[in-house]
Structure 1
Amino acid sequence: MPSRSAAGVRTGVRVVVSGDRGTGKSSLISAAASDAFPEYVPAVLPPTRLPSDFYPDGVPVTIVDTSSSMESRVKLIDELKRADAVVLTYACDQPMTLSRLSSFWLPELRKLEIKAPVIVVGCKLDLRDERQPMNLEQVMAPIMQQFREIETCIECSSATLIQVPDVFYYAQKAVLHPTAPLFDQEKQTLKPRCIRALKRIFMLCDHDMDGALSDAELNEFQVKCFNAPLQPAEIVGVKRVVQERIRGGVSDLGLTLEGFLFLHALFIEKGRLETTWAVLRKFGYNDELKLRDDILPVPTKHAPDQTVELTNEAIDFLRGIFRLYDSDNDGSLQPSEFDDIFVTAPESPWTVDPYVDAAERTPQGNLTINGFLSEWALMTTLDPSYCLANLICIGYGGDPTSALRVTRRRSVDRKKKQTEKNVFHCFVFGPKKSGKSALLNSFIGRPFSSNYTPTNDVRHVANAVEQIGGSQKTLILQEIPEDGVKKLLSNRECLAACDVAVFLYDSSDEYSWKRSRELLLDVARRGEESGYGVPCLLIAAKDDLDPFPMSLQNSARVTQLLGMEAPIPVGVKLRDSKSVFSRIVCAAEHPHLSIPETEKGKKRKRYRRLVNSSLMFVSVTVGAAVAVVGLAAYRAYAARKNT
């Protein structure tokens, strides 16, 4: 059964108890469930369920007992991999079992890549030799320093029921209110993603935007998160604690952001993680401190050849954000200005692939308005949910459903011979050293480099393209490495999201031309087989070099046979290549043209036409026969009636 509801809320916690044989695992589970020391305990208990009202959080706990025998190792590993939390036991009267935690069990959990939090539990506390007292904190401190996955340590006695319920309370708490996403134990500070989330919450609650939470705003925050107001004396007490501990935590206007962050760090240090988690979850965050999927109304039900775009409302918002953060009004965002935009998002989204270095920048490395909007268009195309989450995090205040729209099916566009899309996705094919990377770099204003660096992974770039008449479209170029074409085409729907495909070849290299032609035919066949045929263009790159003999004649003949435009000569090294991007967009805007047809495809089309015309002939013939029979029947009926 899933341990989360559709809204991402925990519906149960699965705790797996493991450890050396004879450390008291089964007795611990039985005592917790029955609140009594068991007279007889089987070697391994069946799964035991603590009901939802057993602990204050109202979430049921399923406890799974395990055997440490070699015969049961496969089952043990399976259970550990399914665990939400792991309880590791040792026996207080057997020091060797404690040593085994760091020598075997904890390294074994790492080896198995178990990510669940660990609760270390010393059982049989009543049997410890009183002549050999042990300071648990001193013994466990170095172990916890080495194994950060240990959430807490506790000792208990099933015989005397000392701290038995607390064991599984801490295990449940470690799952429902985990420390790791919020707090860095080594640095003793809030983690960056936690700070970003709390900053966003602070800003949302600071309605008058004066940089502080007034008493009224603080009280409203308390009611929203905990359904209970703060008494005036409590507000005074909260602010006094902050004032005493941190300079600048309270101003004349109220609790500052510094004070707000300090309070949450204090809650966590004192073990009250549930307080901070209650706040975060009320504002829509999941365990990874990202906005939950259930509050992101991303359109998911659409055909493969439909894509998602930003609406004009969302684009207007982003233009306003750009102007707001362009503090020096130079028409571009410096890295510091750019980072400020995403200070309330989980992280700056465009510092990693596929977004890093995917848009136009100034020679100084600043992001232009075209680059800014193009990055958003790229993110919307590749990951609409991620895009919407970031929009909300940076302050999009409109209805989230108004930020995205689903485009019309490309098959419909083809029939109507026009499209309503504003963003076009272009696949760039070609053999190695054909100039694919140079074309992409040229598109985002990067200077030509004669140093060849092979592209091993898919790469994206995006930019605005101005068309005749002044209209502007966004074009996304996706470079497909030659070695990745076979894998791409193995997916029947691989071309569904593609609006146009271009095929580069080095016009001075005969092999490059032949390989590009092969790729073109492979894509054309896949388009015919899948029904997702796309407009295609051939680009004769490195036009500044001497062409190989018969280059123009061969390429012109192939494009004519396939029903495509003649190859487009491009010399990225020597001259401006902007016109080629306009032609790519133009091809995408006319989805019924430039779709290559192979001989097999033409035969299939002729066959369909023949079948359709035959069916039409049969339909007309049958219709005429029915009409004749009907007329004869009517005349017979009329004759009988007159008689």
Structure 2
Amino acid sequence: MPGGSGSSSRTGVRVVVVGDRGTGKSSLIAAAATESVPEKVPPVHAPTRLPPDFYPDRVPVTIIDTSSSLENKGKLNEELKRADAVVLTYACNQQSTLSRLSSYWLPELRRLEIKVPIIVAGCKLDLRGDHNATSLEEVMGPIMQQFREIETCVECSATTMIQVPDVFYYAQKAVLHPTAPLFDHDEQTLKPRCVRALKRIFIICDHDMDGALNDAELNEFQVKCFNAPLQPAEIVGVKRVVQEKQHDGVNDLGLTLSGFLFLHALFIEKGRLETTWAVLRKFGYGDDLELRDDFLPVPTKLSPDQSVELASEAVEFLRGIFGLYDIDNDGAVRPAELEDLFLTAPESPWDEAPYKDAAETTALGNLTLKGFVSKWALMTLLDPRHSLANLIYVGYGGDPAAALRVTRKRSVDRKKQQTERNVFRCLLFGPQNAGKSALLNSFLERPFSENYAPTTGEQYAVNVVDQPGGNKKTLILQEIPEEGVKKILSNKEALASCDVTIFVYDSSDEYSWKRTKELLVEVARLGEDSGYGVPCLLIASKDDLKPYTMAVQDSARVTQELGIEPPIPVSMKSKDLNNVFSRIIWAAEHPHLNIPETETGRNRKRYRHLVNSSLVFVSVGAAVAVVGLAAYRAYAARRNSSS
């Protein structure tokens, strides 16, 4: 598997040269730029650009010289923060400058949080006497052990032109083909993300899915990545190298995954990172070992009241994938099986909030099919790019551009009095201890708990709700803790991305109802002010307790005044949910109903209607006047002509 240089999206590499005064920084730059021994060198060289064809990757390098004087320290720090790579110099004939690398320069770069490759260049090699002759490995080994950010070390001489171009070649190479994402020097192994990416590439290239790359598949892989076929003798040679070092790297069917990974580790150990990077980039990976944006055609320029859903083809693919991993066919996948599914992704996307506990699981903690599809729906709504990337990581082979669909604007849905959405997002408001979390748990069919723990951050619950006629809709409930209400409502577009707002209150508690009423009015006003009014539903929880009488009477009056449905009584403890989730779906499917209207809003609407009517009256009156004037002029003209 011969290597080739990988293409990079970079249009240039900026290299900043630093080091003690007199270590040869400017002479090194001058010699590299002119490809000749410099005669006269300025104290600080002007920015220098090496042309694209200077190195094989054909990416221009801009070299920035710096002064190490104290008065120029601010400018030096600015340049370092803009660097893609740093060349750190010492003088081979001055031991003190070598010592300063670890006593000052490298700690200083860490202090400034310069997280780019560092190339250490020993300049003035021609001036080092024979009595100082020690190997570079002996000199730099301990320093490189202490400072892992050093990519490589090279000794050079501007006077004799020894290895001068190499210094900036290594700097460019470290930026275009970085080691850090691929290889762990301490462990001498490929990093987990690199293994996951290469495993996905191997699976893609294993067309007959027999767990090995045969000669034809190896050749096709070589042509795709390097635009050159492998000769039969080269294939034999590759296999022989692998077999000698990795006993399970080759079998009767061809090169195994183990052998494929071994080859890439070998390339990296031999300094041929460009080979592995060429493969990764051909299959869409960026420097972070995630798929690049140009491989992810995600919809952009959405209106605030639009959302993104998975297309039906993508949902069917996910159902099929679930079936493959549900080995015992019990309708659920174990956490270990879920981990296996995402072994070709950079990491499992659902290990952290908001996805971790957001969907339905069995009593044993296994993810159901409804839970699996629901988590994908939530990820697509919150982060379409991440969802599409993971869809591709787990093997989706359809057109990525057709995997996602953008929903119609909610404002259009209201006018048409219907929606085409399959996924609905609902914001869940209510005071503490009102029963919001209990409602979320009931939604996910989790047992009721008497222990109360206030919600401190936003919580999500997502599930598929079966509707009459076999219709299925996905409902996303987002619980807003009471202390988070102010932040949400301070955003004028907060309701734009929402299909229904739900207000939960403890029907046995006076304060709970009064606070909920305040929240309802606040949301109603925000909807009127922003133009993003949404259906609102009240849920009277804890229906198993004695009701607060005034709340029953007041809620009937308030809902009637606002023009929304009366509260839905539920008891999570008694499992009497009054079909609440289907009723939420119904409200979302009828986006023109249950939008609360305050007295101020009604007055504003009446005023607008009055103004519009007046304008129509004025325009009609003006039209009559114009027609009358035209008729008079025509009459006058006829009378004049007849006389």
* Shorter-chain TM-score range: over 0.9
CA contact 2:12–2:62 (8 Å) conserved in 1: yes
Aligned to 2:330: 330
Mean alpha-carbon deviation: is it higher for 96-105 or for 175-184?
Answer: 96-105
1:392-418 superposed Cα distances (whole Å, 9 cap, x missing partner): 121211111221111111000001111
Name the counterpart of 1:124: 124
Matched residue SS, 1:469:
helix
Give the Å deviation of 1:639.
Answer: 4.9
Please give the alpha-carbon distance, in whole angstroms, between the structure 1 residues aligned to 2:233 and 2:8: 36
Larger deviation, residues 520-529 vs 625-634: 625-634
Deviations for 1:342-383, whole angstroms, at most 9, x for unmatched residues?
222222211122211111111111111100100110011011
SS of equivalent to 2:116: coil
CA contact (8 A) 2:8 2:281 kept: no
Superposed counterparts of 1:225-374, under 5 Å: 225-374=225-374
AA aligned opposite 2:538 = L
Q: Do the aligned partners of 1:443 and 1:578 also contact (CA within 8 Å) in 2?
A: no
Q: Report the more deviating stretch, 121-130 or 238-247.
A: 121-130
CA distance in structure 2 between the aligned counterparts of 1:483 and 1:69, rounded to whole angstroms: 52
User: What is the identity, as a one-letter code, of the residue corresponding to 2:606?
Assistant: R
**Structure-1 residue corresponding to 2:4:** none
Query: Conserved in 1, the CA contact under 8 Å of 2:569 and 2:578?
Result: no
Q: Secondary structure of the equivalent of 2:596?
A: coil
Cα deviation for residue 452 of structure 1 reads: 3.2
Q: Does 1:613 align with 2:590?
A: no
Distance of aligned partners of 1:24 and 1:319 in 2 relative to their CA distance in 1, 3 Å threshold:
same
Contact in 1 for aligned 2:8/2:176 (Cα 8 Å): no
Equivalent position of 1:628 in the other structure? 628
Structure 2: stretches of 5+ with no match in the other structure: 1-6
Q: CA deviation at 1:423?
A: 0.2
**Which amino acid in structure 1 is aligned with residue 110 of structure 2?**
R
Q: Residue type matched to 1:154 in 2?
A: V
TM-score by length of 1: 0.95
Q: Is the 8 A contact 1:542 1:570 kept in 2?
A: yes
Secondary structure of the 1:556 match is helix
Instruction: Tell me by how many angstroms 1:553 deviates.
Output: 2.0
What does residue 224 of structure 1 align with? 224
Q: Deviations over 1:457-512 (max 9, x none)?
A: 22222101122333111011112222222222232222211111112223333333
- Aligned residue number for residue 211 of structure 1: 211
Range with greater deviation from structure 2 (121-130 or 162-171): 121-130
Tell me if structure 1 keeps the 8 A contact 2:467–2:473: yes
On the 8 A contact 1:16/1:66 being kept in 2, the answer is: yes
1:8, CA displacement in angstroms?
7.3
Q: What count of residue pairs does the alignment treat as equivalent?
A: 637
Deviation at 1:437, TM superposition (A): 2.1
Instruction: Give the counterpart letter for 1:424 in structure 2.
Output: F
Query: Shift of residue 249 of structure 1?
Result: 1.2
- Counterpart-to-counterpart distance in 1, 2:467 and 2:250: 55
1:638 CA drift (Å) = 4.7
Counterpart in 2 of 1:432? 432
CA displacement at 1:642 relative to structure 2: 6.0
Q: Deviations over 1:584-633 (max 9, x none)?
A: 21111111111122222222111111111111111221222222223333
Unpaired stretches in structure 1, ≥5 consecutive residues? 1-6
- Output aligned runs, 1:416-427, within 5 Å: 416-427=416-427
Change (3 A) 1:8 1:500: farther
Q: Which moved more, 1:188-197 or 1:624-633?
A: 624-633
Counterpart CA distance in 1 for 2:474 and 2:228 is 49
What is the CA-CA distance between 1:322 and the residue it aligns to? 1.1
Aligned to 1:4: none
The residue that corresponds to 1:172 in the other structure is: 172
TM-score by length of 2: 0.95
Are residues 183 and 538 of structure 1, via their aligned partners in 2, closer, same or farther at CA, if it must alter by over 3 Å? same
Q: Is the 8 A contact 1:8 1:294 kept in 2?
A: no
Greater alpha carbon shift after TM alignment, 446-455 vs 358-367: 446-455
The question of whether the paired residues in 1 share the 8 Å contact of 2:92 and 2:127 is answered with yes
Matched with 2:3 is: none
Residue 316 of structure 1 aligns to a residue in which SS?
A: helix
CA contact (8 A) 2:157 2:164 kept: yes
User: Which digits, 9 at most, give the CA deviation of each residue in 1:165-216, with x for residues without a partner?
Assistant: 1111111111100111111111111111111111111111111222211111
How far has the Cα of 1:279 moved from its partner?
0.6
Q: How does 1:35-74 map to 2 (within 5 A)?
A: 35-74=35-74
Q: Which residue of 1 aligns with 2:406?
A: 406
SS, match of residue 608 in structure 2: helix
CA distance in 2, matches of 1:314, 1:340: 20
Distance change in 2, residues 1:26/1:588 (3 Å): same
Q: Identity of aligned pairs, percent?
A: 72
Partner Cα distance (1:476, 1:199) in 2: 34
Give the whole-Å Cα distance in 1 for the aligned partners of 2:37 and 2:309.
63
Please give the secondary structure, in 2, of the residue aligned with 1:301: coil
Which amino acid letter does the alignment assign opposite residue 393 of structure 1?
A: Y
**What residue is the counterpart of 1:470 in the other structure?**
470
Offset at 1:565? 1.6
Q: Secondary structure of 1:140's partner?
A: helix
Whichever residue aligns with residue 581 of structure 2, its letter is F
1:559 aligns with 2:581: no
Taking the aligned partners of 2:578 and 2:155, their CA distance within structure 1 comes to 72
SS of 1:14's partner is: strand
More displaced, 51-60 or 331-340?
331-340
1:83-116 deviations in whole A, cap 9, x for unaligned?
1111222222232332322233222222322221
Aligned residue for 1:530?
A: 530
Report deviation, 1:525. 2.0
Offset, 1:533? 1.2
In 2, distance between residues paired with 1:170 and 1:552? 76
| Deviation larger for 130-139 or 148-157 | 130-139
- Which is further off, 411-420 or 349-358? 349-358
Partner of 1:3: none
* Change in CA separation of 1:331 and 1:641 when aligned onto 2, cut-off 3 Å: farther
C-alpha separation in 2, matches of 1:335 and 1:578:
33
